[in-house]
Structure 1
Amino acid sequence: MNVMYNQSLYLSKRIQVEDALALVQSGYEVVLGLGAAEPRLFLERLHEEASRVKDVHMVNCLPMGEYAFFSNPSYKDSFLLEGWFYSGAMRKLHHNGNITFIPNHLHFASTKRMQYRHPNIYIGNCSPVDNHGYVSLGVSNVYEKDMVENADIVILEINPNVPRTFGDTEVHITDVDYFIEADYKLPTLPISESNEKDRVIGNYIADLIDDGSTIQLGIGGIPNAVAHALTHKKDLGIHTEMFTDGMVDLVESGAVSGKLKTLHKNKMVAAFALGSQKLYDFIHENPGVSILRGTYVNDPYVVGGNDNMVSINTSIEIDLTGQCCSESVGTRQISGTGGQVDTAVGAQNAKNGKSFIALYSTAEIRNKATGEIEEKSKIVPMLTPGAIVTLSRNDVDFVVTEYGVAALRGTSVRERVKRLIAIAHPKFRDMLEAEAERLMLW
């Protein structure tokens, strides 16, 4: 669209937060921006409408704030929060009875949801208007652009602190119904310091990554350790669901060029960014970063189009046949499937691709009966009852702990049992062998 900025049109679309809240009606489906793209001004006051509306479905993903509309259970008849990926606030407040999880592979999040319910309102944030009348959706395009194109009403909090990003984040003001002017800092994530276990695991993984590979990383101590261990590599590319601080560090180290990528040569591709202010500054007006739709970025067939694709994800526990639970503790939802299956399967679709699942060999768990902290193996004979299988055993490639690497691609259950026990903590290996015999897993 070659339309210059029309200031009078923009001014006619400005409203106050109260006006936006008044648009919410009982029974509506209201979709919110992901992570740092969430509309803070709107959400801070949404609970004020509780006496007026009932059964409003608020749909989000990885929320950063803890807002009264879902933290206060007295509003549960008015608002139901449905999430594609839990954050700490949703995990903590799930017991209120007004929060529920939407099972999904992230690349299908928007399309499958819209097949179920039509979005009445989409509200997120955006960058200021440029000279051509465009705003940028900034830090997230997992489902945001899809919702902008399909919602009955589109509202954006226009914020000078939102970075202007490129790829497929551009939205013309003619495609937005209302703007709320805002000026708040975007939420940031603390950088997780890597410990010795993280560094050992990171080095194991880095040793199996070749120069010229295209990588996908998440956040946390292990991914950060992997990123650090990759700084001596050459000509890496980035095709990732989440753009992180670890990737900025890799770029600054000179390890990333993107010139050997099969898709989007010389471009760093992501669906969203979340991290420090340094990260937001890095992606702002950076033509080397393309924030594209999650329906594309996370599509396993697109991921697999990158030769030498490497996917690195973490898990909570894994059983001796290779089933990975990466999102719950028993029946308790703590995060989400996210893009784990998208990227793990996609990497294995790629020519010379590799997929890694990384986890510590043990975890410290409080015994509910005694109250004491006990060390438990994270490689288990059977998953905890009620645990969600995030990545099926059919889709597991490499499993890595601080005790080594188990290559499971193409192996039988008998061989998997042997290889997974070999990377379990030594104090639990005899127990795992005995349980494998008792359960006849061999």
Structure 2
Amino acid sequence: MSYKHKIISIDEALSKIKSEDHIVTGLAAAEAKVLLENLHRVADYVKGVTVTTCLPMVLADYFNDPTYKDSFQMDGWFYTAAIRKAQSNGNISFIPNHLHLAGIKRLAHKQPNIYIGNATPPDQHGYVSLSLSNVYEKRMIEAAKLVILEINPKLPRTFGDMELHVNDVDYLIETDYDIPELPDIEPNEKDLKIGSYIADYIHDGDCIQLGIGGIPNAVATSLMNKKDLGIHTEMITTGMMKLVNAGVITGKKKNFNKGKLVATFALGTRELYDFIDNNPSVMIKDGHWVNDPYVIGLNDNQVSINTTIEVDLTGQCASESIGAVQYSGTGGQADTAIGAQRSKNGRSFIALYSTARVRNKDTGEREEISKIVPTLKPGAAVSLSRNDVDYVVTEYGVASLKGTSVRERVERLVQIAHPKFREALMESAITLGIF
């Protein structure tokens, strides 16, 4: 099927953008890289354009250069280093959300004029694959007045709910860039210790969800001796791919989608992208369905593993901000933690190092602080309510909080804090009247 009449240049695509437009782009490696890198070129002709993003990989001038702040506003569902570097410019704002509702709630508030993203070139039947994400992408495509996709032969063709007919796309831009990758971070000693603690709670046949970073990678490394694990997860990672290749993940024990790796997006190394390319065992589905806690809970023995920035002595988890400063996002943390606990024999883990090294504002020197704290920093966002916390894990052990009183939580969390902070934490708990 011919699609050549839909191909336009970058300049032609940019000419479609008007003042006050609302543009939505794909999540992470599914974003429209070339269009975003060139968006600032129309700054002299437009004002008040809103770009909604999630986990952006491109440090684009339209939001990074404060010169363009009157022309472009970025609203983000999940911050990355690219956004953190530029958020002081004054034209970036966070959208509080649970990931399974992110697209639906945004559409209830604001309809997109334009959707821009990437996809594989059309096949002989006229279908492209959205490739790496369907957290909200298809919903936004259906709602947008104009759809522009960058087609790239380097994208993996994936299955699940990723197909889109070229007739439903207004314009295509031919590209050939390397797909952004997430490095496979080597776990350090603390990561491996935490990973081994969590692995002790994971049994043959469990269905798992892992997040991003050294600790989840360490958990994956620690699972190499398990059998017949399943995957129902927000994100397919390189660590999961390694477990599949090692024969650890088979999906045989799942209640539904047996034998399938179910996710709503993929992000990792080129090796991961090659693995998911034309792989019928990988299902990338609508994020509203994948991350729905009810759906997650339908698999028995579902295990959720996420990380946090700090935890207070009652169990509140601040996983996305440092004080009032946005750092990342809630993402699917609450979705997956609550979903796992709905599951028969399900478990949810929140992992963190016991300490961090931060710069003292008065001396300028770095000092070690506890990440288990009496109270969260002023303005901190509570990403996971204390009502929804199951296990908390540091390199000093595991604290089971399910069903416990605040007094019991204080005792258990102090025991997994760094030893040099335990006495001060207990004194603070007494002063606060919670112990």
**1:226 to 2:219 alignment:** yes
Aligned to 1:290: 283
Choose from 291, 312, 316 the match for 1:319.
312
Could you tell me which of 37, 41, 53 is aligned with 1:44?
37
Amino acid at match of 2:224: T
Query: In 2, Cα distance between the equivalents of 1:342 and 1:264?
Result: 19
Structure 1 position 273 matched with structure 2 position 247: no
SS where residue 15 of structure 1 aligns? coil
CA shift for structure 1 position 44: 1.4
Q: How does 1:38-437 map to 2 (within 5 A)?
A: 38-437=31-430
Q: Distance in 2 between matches of 1:158 and 1:70?
A: 24
| Distance (Å, rounded) in 1 between the aligned partners of 2:15 and 2:105 | 28
AA of the residue aligned to 2:270: Q
Q: Distance in 2 between matches of 1:420 and 1:301?
A: 29
Q: Describe the superposition over 1:77-96 as per-residue Cα deviations: whole angstroms up to 9, x where unpaired.
A: 11000100001010111000
RMSD: 0.7
Alignment TM-score, normalising by the size of structure 1: 0.98
**Corresponding residue SS for 2:18:** coil
CA deviation map 1:120-169 (0-9, x unaligned): 11110001111111000001111111111111111100100111000000
User: Secondary structure of 1:216's match?
Assistant: strand
Deviations 1:282-313 (A, max 9, x none): 00000000010111111111111111000000
Q: After superposition, what is the alpha-carbon deviation per residue over 1:48-88, rounded to whole angstroms, capped at 9, x for unaligned? A: 11111110000000110111101110110110001000010
Q: State the one-letter code of the partner of 1:351.
A: K
Alpha-carbon separation, structure 1, partners of 2:151 and 2:125:
16
Per-residue deviation, residues 244-281 of structure 1 (Å, max 9, x unmatched): 00001111111100011012111000111111000000
TM-score scaled by length of structure 2? 0.99
- Structure 2 residue matching 1:231: 3-state secondary structure: coil
What secondary structure sits across from 1:203 in the alignment? Answer: helix
Deviates more, 1:334-343 or 1:35-44: 35-44
CA distance in 2, matches of 1:161, 1:293: 23
Structure 1 segments of 4 or more deviating over 6 A? none
Task: Report how many aligned residue pairs link the two structures.
Answer: 435
Q: Distance in 1 between matches of 2:182 and 2:203?
A: 29
Equivalent AA in structure 1 for residue 317 of structure 2: C
AA at the equivalent of 1:29: H
Superposition pairs of residues 22-41 of structure 1, within 5 angstroms: 22-41=15-34
Percent of paired sites with the same residue: 63
- SS at 1:147 equivalent: helix
Partners of 2:290 and 2:22 in 1: CA distance:
25
* Equivalent residue letter for 2:180: P
The code of the aligned residue for 1:107 comes to: H
Which amino acid in the other structure matches residue 309 of structure 2? I
Deviations 1:322-355 (A, max 9, x none): 0000001111111000000000000001111000
Q: Structure 2: how far apart are the matches of 1:260 and 1:146?
A: 31
Q: Any idea what SS the aligned residue of 2:233 has?
A: strand
Residue identity matched to 1:372? E
Unaligned runs of 5+ in 2: none
Distance in 2 between residues matched to 1:382 and 1:263, nearest whole Å:
41
Which structure 1 residue ranges, 5 or more long, are not aligned? 1-5
Supply the distance in 1 between the matched residues of 2:366 and 2:382 (Cα, whole angstroms).
26
**1:20 to partner: Cα distance:** 1.0
